[in-house]
Amino acid sequence: MRLLGWLALAAMVGGAVSADARMHAPYRGHRIAPSTAMPLDAFAAPAAAYSLRKLRSAYAGPGIKLRRASDNATQDINFLGFTGFTGAPLDVAAAAGFCAATNCTIDTWYDQSGNARHLAQVTPANQPAYVASCVGGRPCAQVTVGTQDLRYANVTPAAVASVNVVGQHAVRPGGCVYLALTSANFLQQSPTLDLVQLQGTGSIGAAAAAFAWHSHTGVINGAASVVRVDGAETTGTVAVVAGTGLMYFAAAAAGATCQQSEMVWWDGYALTQSERAALSNNQRAFWGF
């Protein structure tokens, strides 16, 4: 009887250990703290980076500056702490408190690259709306008329450029310009077709459902140019248009509603296929589409 009791106790202990091991299996063998790297830490340094989450560990500033309609006051909104490989989210509670019982617009979208290419709009009526819940319950910037935009002047892109956005063409007619580098180098979504276009001297079009969020990536690199929509890529030939112009996010025409939560530009650098895939996967994991 005593032997049977000991065997039963051993079986119980063994079973508990096995269950515990199964519960913690993903963590077994890990003896170091997890990395706190932000999404763009492993990438080449961007020329400009804007997001409603923190993208780079080296950046210590706020995400956006909001303006509220009730009294025209402005306030910077910062990021929360690290939440995993997908980055640190915007402090939406602080934004909600500032915008309580009124509407807010985005006065400034801060550049996380360190190059101080902040996107701004000085005219309150032309500022994009701050929408608290867009993609995956997270916030976005929204333009609804052709006069609304955020911009940075005097951009002169190199012969090779990479651009990336997380956005949605929410309402037609009218197209969305997700990221313009000059008057003709940009990622846009067509007014009438489910199409994202990378345009410069030449263009590449790729299928992208309207009324849905996507990760859009474009590489302008001559015959090696590519546009990526989520997991699908289309190649072609596009050259950078020489000259200096605005970098901006806007509705291309009245009637469109365009929403965006993230955009990045690399100057003089072509994102590799593995980098494009990694960035797209990371964005889809964080933004939830």
Q: Which residues contact 18 (CB under 8 A, 6 or more apart)?
A: none
| C-beta atoms surrounding 92 within 10 Å | 17
Q: Are 49 and 164 in contact (CB under 8 A)?
A: no
Please give the pLDDT value at position 25: 32
For 127, the token pair is: 């500022």
Residue 147's nearest CA partner among 163, 179, 123, 118 is 123
**Distance in angstroms (rounded) separating the CA atoms of residues 76 and 118:** 13
Question: Which ranges in the chain belong to alpha helices (H)?
Answer: 2-23, 92-98, 273-287
3-state SS assignment for residue 25: helix
3-state SS assignment for residue 26: helix
Please give the pLDDT value at position 36: 66
Q: How far is the CA of 174 from the CAs of 136, 144, 169, 229, in angstroms?
A: 25, 10, 9, 20
Q: Are 74 and 66 in contact (CB under 8 A)?
A: yes
Please give the pLDDT value at position 15: 39
Start-to-end C-alpha separation, the chain: 60
Please give the pLDDT value at position 86: 79
Please give the pLDDT value at position 81: 85
Please report the DSSP string for 56-73 in residue order: -TT--S-SEEEEETTT--
Please give the pLDDT value at position 146: 83
**Distance in angstroms (rounded) separating the CA atoms of residues 194 and 20:** 50
- pTM of the predicted model, to two decimals? 0.87
Please give the pLDDT value at position 58: 94
| Per-residue pLDDT of the chain in tens (289 residues, 90 and over written 9) | 443 343 333 333 333 333 333 223 333 333 334 456 899 999 999 999 999 999 999 999 999 999 999 999 999 999 998 766 677 999 999 999 999 999 999 999 999 999 999 999 999 999 999 999 999 999 999 999 889 999 999 999 999 999 999 999 999 988 999 999 998 999 999 998 899 999 999 999 999 999 999 999 999 999 999 999 999 999 999 999 999 999 999 998 878 999 999 999 999 999 999 999 999 999 999 999 9
Is the omega angle on the peptide bond into residue 62 within 30 degrees of 0, that is, cis? no
3-state SS assignment for residue 263: strand
Q: Which fold has domain 48-287?
A: Jelly Rolls (2.60.120)
Please give the pLDDT value at position 252: 87
Ramachandran sector of residue 232 (left: φ over 0; alpha: ψ -120 to 50; beta: rest):
beta
